[in-house]
A and B are shown apart, each in its own frame.
Chain A
């Protein structure tokens, strides 16, 4: 279980990375924390001719807050969790991130790496999508922002072009309250299904908007607008009905781990629980 031979560059600047990507394109992979790419290389599921190491590339770390909060692609998950600003301004992350992998993988794993990898069950893509965030991509031609709704295209497939790299993630500040619930067979595993919720309530305490996101159901995270359910307070009945309705619209994966009916079931149950968590928070 050893990787194929690859050339290696420890890139010191974004410029360097982009030059290399332009030259190598599909043959190059970007190495962030290595939590997903490392195993893929070792398993020879990825066989690049060039590995571009971003771990010492300048300009990819840090957290800045203007309107949205922007995190550098190479921000480590542990660093993010220890950042009070980020955890306060994007409370959904505070709820979701402890479920990512393990202590020993969060220490090294990055935000950008998880989003670029686009596992359909992963927590960070789900949160970004639910909040309606954006991914910032850069190439020699300049940079662009892609809405999370357009970024995740399928299992391990994203809108990133081979000559592009993720430089930053934009997390919108959302007012309202949040819920995150996931079920995995074992603690720390990729979720069988996860539900992330952001709800907005009007002055009377009734649901006004927000989104319900589901991971591990379809081949990519999916999110649904809650506006159409607006008008009533979020109680157990409404939560059940909303989540069931939304679950019914999904087209769940069917594989040896779990069949479609079960994933849809979890989508409904966890959606409800996440809604209730958010509502409970709003009420308190």
Chain B
């Protein structure tokens, strides 16, 4: 390997050779040693407060039912049971949480007089241990009056459908049409109009670690302290405090040291934080609750289900001139904040990778008797790109143009960047033609098409699917308010920006510590942060400690904090670079003073502050610790101590009166190709080839990038092939265990080839774009396209299970 040798082990001291730069190298992860030895601490490993009691949650067995009475006397009589709390009691301390959508529907984390989905909390038992708490659940008698359930979103829109929220009077909790450009004229003038109905199911990211919360209410003064594996967005913190009726500084949130995956879904921990806060307050004891897998599958959060129609207008040469989306979004039982963000996250990039300027979008937000939706990997992107990219493959077939070619004819030109989309995003950089060159080369597309011909000549079912996407990263806090009309927005106060905060300090022994606000769940943020700081200070990543826990009383955080929207490599790294530069600058000023030279002549390298071009140097520790030990003699204007807090934001304003908004900081791109063969007798799909080309901007740590990309693909693979939160027509939940909810295992993952065509982002200090969602957004589209190609029909939808595929085949034959 030509790479500079990278020290991997903190105990080995200084490296033999120093790289020019740590960023861009596959530095082994700082996180790994603790995880590999079993010493990392997750929320269920913690007993952070004395006198903990354990909670278990009674959940509704009905999709829709009035609760007429709850009798907990037998449960309370059980020795070791500390208390039982019902929704009615909780309501005394907790207000319903509103969504930005103007609807009277409020989210409550526990049912009060009515249960609205299977798994909805109905009562909370607190007992000496979890076993006993579950015994008590069995003794609570709840009288339900079952009601008809609204399960299918389209059916739930009907006038005579059972209504979930009587206050709203209808299950359509929101309906907005947004028009960018002039789609009407474009459709009038179109040479071809193509349209496709689509449906994408509700599924879920199911991290291996479930939710965990420890809530403690202290009464003098009133204060809630919560330890949990909540991962943000911390914009929810003020909402939680508001729901509990306390100022923000009386709701102290502390996250665990390690978090066992999230992919967004741990946003849903917020519901249990407020619930258990109320329980702790009511019973006067600290309460610990660890979600079990059944609870997680049934009641944590689903990705938005979406059905609808995409219609496109094409000029005679295949130029896409307008798009029309009609989306029916299955939101589950509530619009639980930050919903309906999933519906609007892609609103300003509805053009995808294409130059289309006229877009009409209509969104229905429909509540159904199912678990509410929330953040899940691909958040809103999966659904959107599923519809757009299925449409593009379908249109190619209708127009008799090769699907790659049709896309090429419509890509935004590389010279057109920065490119302003009709929805108001300013896409930073990209070279989509080159990405597709790479995709075609890696997949050997021409040979693959020949192979398809040969296979078909043999009577085999063989198909190729293409899909491409932009990957918006670093979310503008303002985009969610697109769910409001411009008039509503004007009344409710402006929102904008993408904040990020970091603290970098050097302690009196010279130890460098960074505090992040990104609450990672396995993405290696600590490692990349250490790489950045090491570059700025001329030290090694091993010399940098990174704290990723957030404590809202002591950490730098903002409403932007958390792990979502691919924000780390875009927003957080900018804060780290800025903060590290400030510390470096301060150290240089101090070093110049001690070395008696100009500040400009000091460089920080190899653990030293050195006069450039000389061997006159002081150890960095020696220089920096003076700020603690010898503050009186610091150079003029230098503050004692080294403790640099930096908050940056991206220049992203809130939505305009025309409903446009720049939703994100950077826009990466992804290009996927899948080739499948189908066994006509069994419906089994064999994925012969899957190639994925990414533009993630600069690769900050290639190995970590690679890990994110394949991990994202396998999430998409699961959604394409197996995963679905299944309900029967009465709303009974059928995917309650990992034997029913099928995640891919190592045997289901096909060969997966990755290519990179990075175009550095001019919007970020390191040139990185976000990644993380990756092919989780595209695999459902690419694979369904491939299967549609093999079957010769477009009206299919994931998950592409064997019985379904076989059924489609029979229908096609008939």
Contacts and interface: CB of A to CB of B under 8 A. Distances in A.
A contacts B directly (C-beta below 8 A): yes
Nearest to B684: A183
B734 interface: yes
Interface stretch (A153-161, A200-208, A253-261): A253-261
B294 A43 contact: yes
B681 A256 contact: no
B803 A259 contact: yes
Given A183-B684, A189-B742, A262-B803, A1 B747 contact: no
A2 interface: yes
B722 A187 contact: no
Given A183-B802, A185-B801, A188-B747, A4 B135 contact: yes
Which of the listed residues A1, A3, A259 has the most CB atoms from chain B within 10 Å of its own CB?
A1
B383 to A, nearest CB: 23
B807 interface: yes
B681 A192 contact: no
B726 interface: yes
Interface in B711-740: 722, 726, 728, 734, 737, 739
Contacts of B806: 262, 265
Contacts of A265: 681-682, 806
Contacts of B682: 183, 265-266, 269-270
B803 A257 contact: yes
B744 A186 contact: yes
A193 B744 CA distance: 20
A5 interface: yes
Interface residues of B, number: 29
Interface string B663-678: 0000000000000000
Contacts of A266: 682
Which of the listed residues A2, A188, A259, A270 has the most CB atoms from chain B within 10 Å of its own CB?
A2
B745 interface: yes
Contacts of A4: 135, 138
A167 B375 CA distance: 51
Interface string B776-813: 00000000000000000000000001110011001000
B134 interface: yes
Interface in B598-650: none
Contacts of B748: 186-187
A256 B734 contact: yes
Contacts of B739: 39, 189-190
A17 to B, nearest CB: 26
Contacts of B734: 256
Nearest to A47: B138
Which of the listed residues A183, A259, A262 has the most CB atoms from chain B within 10 Å of its own CB?
A262
Main secondary structure of the interface of B (DSSP, over half): loop
Contacts of B810: 261
Contact of A186 (B131, B681, B742, B803): B742
A119 B748 CA distance: 24
A13 to B, nearest CB: 30
Contact of A262 (B131, B294, B744, B807): B807
Nearest to A270: B682
B341 to A, nearest CB: 31
Interface in A15-54: 39, 43-44
B312 to A, nearest CB: 34
A186 B292 contact: no
Interface residues of A, number: 26
Given A1-B293, A5-B135, A185 B807 contact: no
Interface in B228-260: none
A183 B806 CA distance: 13
Contacts of A257: 803
Contacts of B737: 39, 43
Contacts of B726: 256
B130 interface: yes
A183 to B, nearest CB: 6
A187 B294 contact: no
Contacts of B138: 4, 44
A208 B493 CA distance: 84
Nearest to B748: A186
A185 B292 CA distance: 25
A111 B422 CA distance: 64
Which of the listed residues B737, B744, B747, B803 has the most CB atoms from chain A within 10 Å of its own CB?
B803
A185 B747 contact: no
A39 B294 CA distance: 12
Contacts of B135: 4-5
A192 B802 contact: yes
Interface string B748-785: 10000000000000000000000000000000000000
A110 B726 CA distance: 32
Nearest to A190: B739
A269 B135 CA distance: 47
Contacts of A5: 131, 135
Given A183-B684, A259-B803, A265-B806, A2 B745 contact: no
A77 B346 CA distance: 51
A188 B737 CA distance: 16
Contacts of A256: 726, 728, 734
A183 B742 CA distance: 15
Contact of A187 (B130, B134, B745): B745
Contacts of A183: 682, 684, 802
Contacts of B131: 2-3, 5
A55 to B, nearest CB: 22
A41 to B, nearest CB: 12
Contacts of A2: 130-131, 134
Contacts of A39: 737, 739
A43 B292 CA distance: 11
Interface in B338-392: none
Contacts of A43: 294, 737
A1 B801 contact: no
23 contacts: A1-B134, A1-B292, A1-B293, A5-B135, A39-B739, A43-B294, A185-B722, A186-B722, A186-B747, A187-B748, A188-B745, A188-B747, A189-B742, A256-B728, A256-B734, A258-B803, A261-B807, A262-B802, A262-B806, A265-B682, A266-B682, A269-B681, A269-B682
The 3 closest A-B pairs by CB, nearest first: A187-B747, A1-B292, A258-B803
Interface of A: 1-5, 39, 43-44, 183, 185-190, 192, 256-259, 261-262, 265-266, 269-270
